Structure 1
Amino acid sequence: MGLEDSEALTFLRDAISPLGQSDAMISKFYTCWFAIDGSVRDMFPPDMAEQRAMFARALDWALGEFIAQRAEEPIAFLAQLGRDHRKYGVTHSHYESLAQALYATLTANLDDQWTDAVDEAAHQLINLVTGVMSGAADAEDGPGWWEGTVVEHQRVSRDLAVIRLYLDQPLPYHPGQYVNVEVPQVPRRWRYMSPAIPTQADGAIEFHVRAVYGGMVSNAIVSETRPGDRWRMSGAHGGLEVDRDGEDVLMVAGSTGLAPLRSIIMDMTRFGVNPRVHLFYGARYPCELYDLRTLWDLASTNPWLSVTPVSEYSSDPPWAADYPDVQPPRGLHVRQKGLLPEIITRYGSWGDRQILVSGGPPMVRAVRAALISKGAPVQRIQHDPLEL
């Protein structure tokens, strides 16, 4: 029965489930893979804990979908994964050695319970995963990755930086999408970032980055990036968008979550008529509303855009004096004090709007829950995946 045998698939899912004791098995899989094909090891960071967890979660989810006989989403996911993995330089031989290592690891560790039905399901699952990924990669005509040179690194606050680059060739993406980025300070540790401007014919691109406590990549970007650094990035993902023929829009941005919404707003300025957009832009301190001047300029010349700045604290800390003054001229925006979910829901449910929320996962979850509790339909709320 293979992929139609829910019992065999459930057995395989239980063996690799991140909720169980799967880390040891996933670790053995990578050890086996690296032993079979030594060239693979250089594609991964020295610390494999995060990679093992991501692999286990992906397999667990895909198996759950196959058990429920829902193949469309996991196949689309695997195809996108195959296209995206071209940035690592993955070849057919790597997929072949992956299949060999995964099958060998499963049979060695589940030997006592390995039946003919499980064997057939495992073979079909592994062949499907590697076949879809390699086939999608082969069908893609564009480059596997894009490279660019940092031309400006601006420290706009204690833990915030704006980085501008010129790519060797333009990277096609829709405003609101995100790309996977590798920086020279931390090789082989890719992180998702959203361009803060629409795609440019000259290859210009801009990212806004906040240093996360304990985050190796974000701290390196904020503290160590210099003009001349060479960055590499993948093709675009994500689907944040505004239907210009649809209802008015509510946007909610927390800190550098502003970047994709800013890109969408900038793209909308190309048109004479747009739905009304109200943006709530939040940070801890007033000085961390780092792009308020740009938003002031955009709103002053585009009457369909209004902006409400929100800060958790009413005054700035002493260290704010070391960084540029971000406050725009008086008269256009009145800053409010409080938490974004509380401020936004004071105005109602916003249930008649297109709703786009962008920021850290805790902030997105809190805003989403607050809006839903006020009556906003779930299907109207857009945000990027909370685990990437």
Structure 2
Amino acid sequence: MDVPAMRANFAKAAATGDEAPLYFYSHLFLSHPEVRAMFPVSMAHQRDRFFTALGEVVTRVDDLDTLVPILQQLGRDHRKFGTLAAHYPAAGASLLATLEHFDDEWSPELAKDWTDAYTLVAEVMIAAAEEAAEQPAWWEADVVGHERRTIDVAVLRVRPRARYDYLPGQSLSLETDLRPRLWRYYSPANAPRPDGVLDLHVKARDGGPVSSALVRRVGVGDVLRLGPPMGHLALDPDSDRDLLLVAGGMGLAPLKAMVDQVARHGPARRVDLFVGFRTEDDVYDRTDLARLQEENPWLTVTYAVSEDKLSSLEQGDVGEVVLRHGPWTSREVCVAGPAVMVEDTVGRLLQHGVPPRRMSSEVFAPSRPGPSVDGEVTE
């Protein structure tokens, strides 16, 4: 398998922006119109998801130890769409047609390599889905609390009707009847607890159909659907090192779940949580974080604001503020937030001397706009 050639081929398709995903789905729906009903009305966000996932595969195609768990998660997750083993060949044919269409140097060798790679991907995903057949494809969950924290942020408390296991730091996909077939990812902000309730932090995004509905229209008594947990952001279960947790904006949720995990289950350790926002008015969880800090003397919470010169909170990007309080070279580190913030913070900490093996990170980015809350389709 010529991995460099495959990456170069994929880069040509990815460089076209929307054109390659649009070609893929057009080919798929024209050749297999029966699958169109499995997808949302607006394909804007779905197009992004497809090429993001494919990019993950291409990046790790020669690192099966990392790739296989990702594919297994995707296989289990795709059960919620009604995906069957019979659907995979159709998607594979459309993928090869797309990659060929955007590469003037397409060759039989590339076709074979991509066929072999896709066959492996499909086999792993199908096997994972079959192994999860005894579990629900999705979980219905009742909204038992809805608290507006700011004009555009709400904390939803949801209780799955069946047992829902996850690790603090993981994400879950969520669907509401207000926006059918539009699944969005959120991280529980608490560790699993006896009552089964999950706290979800949601920010309404401009043009964000699901987030806007969750913040402004969903209420107590409504029912949501949850997909299986996903993601690799988690504490090392074999480590008792002190923790450095760095959040930007809504990336606070998974890191707060880790704090909750330490509070509930240990092991005893120091935890420094840094939370960055643009302005002090954006700090939506201050009261509850103050409660956690008061109840747990091992926890220190520090806020940073990057665009609020009148605030008494620490000034600067959160990664910059973190380094003012070092050294951190002995810590286990988790970073979550917007892509620019994660890249900047991880880069600073690597330069500071934190070993890469003790640092994990996850990007929390808003989904691409789809239908508005009023049902209008936006691009």
Q: Measure how far apart 1:346 and its partner are.
A: 1.4
Q: CA deviation at 1:261?
A: 1.6
Change (3 A) 1:41 1:298: same
1:134 is aligned to 2:129 = no
Q: Which has the larger radius of gyration?
A: 1
Q: Which digits, 9 at most, give the CA deviation of each residue in 1:22-43, with x for residues without a partner?
A: 7545433322322343332122
Q: Does 1:347 align with 2:325?
A: yes
Paired residues for 1:328-339 under 5 Å: 335-339=313-317
| TM-align CA RMSD | 3.1
| C-alpha spacing 1:58/1:13, structure 2 compared with 1 (3 Å) | farther
Q: Helix, strand or coil for the counterpart of 2:293?
A: helix
The residue number in structure 2 matching 1:274 is 268
SS in structure 1 of the partner of residue 146 of structure 2 = strand
Q: For 1:4-153, what aligned pairs fall within 5 Å after superposition?
A: 4=1, 6=2, 10=5, 14=9, 17-21=12-16, 23-63=18-58, 65-66=60-61, 69-103=62-96, 109=101, 116-140=108-132, 141-153=134-146
Q: Report the AA paired with residue 44 of structure 1.
A: F
User: 5 Å matches for 1:157-172?
Assistant: 157-172=150-165
Give the corresponding residue for 2:241: 247
Q: 1:106-129 CA deviation, whole Å, 9 max, x = no partner? A: 67x489966554443344333323
The residue that corresponds to 1:302 in the other structure is 296
Per the normalisation by structure 1, the TM-score is 0.81
Amino acid at match of 2:304: V
In structure 2, how many angstroms separate the alpha carbons of the residues matched to 1:188 and 1:70?
A: 32
Q: Which runs of 5+ in 2 are unaligned?
A: 368-379
- Note if contact 1:145-1:233 (Cα within 8 Å) is conserved in structure 2: yes
Counterpart code for 2:225? R
Residue 288, structure 1, aligned to residue 282, structure 2: yes
Shift of 1:256: 2.5
Change in 2 beyond 3 A, CA 1:158/1:19? same
Provide the rounded CA distance (Å) in 2 between the counterparts of 1:11 and 1:353: 38
Q: CA deviation at 1:273?
A: 5.3
State the AA in 1 paired with 2:297.
Answer: P
Q: Check 1:371–1:11 CA distance in 2 against 1; reply closer, same or farther (3 A cut).
A: closer
The answer to which structure, 1 or 2, has the higher relative contact order (CA under 8 A, 6+ apart) is 2
Which residue among 242, 247, 251 is the counterpart of 1:257? Answer: 251
Secondary structure, in 3 states, of the residue corresponding to 1:275?
coil
CA drift of 1:294 comes to 1.9
- For residues 346-370 of structure 1, give each alpha carbon's deviation from its aligned partner in whole angstroms, at most 9, with x where no partner exists: 1234122112222222222232233
From the superposition, tell whether residues 138 and 288 of structure 1 become closer, same or farther in structure 2 (CA, over 3 Å).
same
Give the whole-Å Cα distance in 2 for the aligned partners of 1:347 and 1:254: 17
- In 2: Cα distance, 1:309 partner to 1:354 partner: 20
Is the Cα–Cα contact under 8 Å of residues 144 and 157 in structure 2 kept in the other structure? yes
TM-score with structure 2 setting the length? 0.83
| Partner SS, residue 189 of structure 2 | coil
Contact kept in structure 1, 2:23 and 2:98, CA below 8 Å: yes
Contact 2:141–2:224 (8 Å) recurs in 1? yes
Report if aligned partners of 1:250, 1:277 keep a CA contact under 8 Å in 2: yes
Secondary structure at 1:138 match in 2? helix
Does 2:349 match 1:371? yes
TM-fit CA distance, 1:255 = 2.8
Structure 1: any 5+ residue segments left out of the alignment?
A: 317-333
Residue correspondences, number: 363
* Gap change, CA 1:339 and 1:75, over 3 Å in 2: closer
Counting aligned pairs with the same residue, the percent is 34
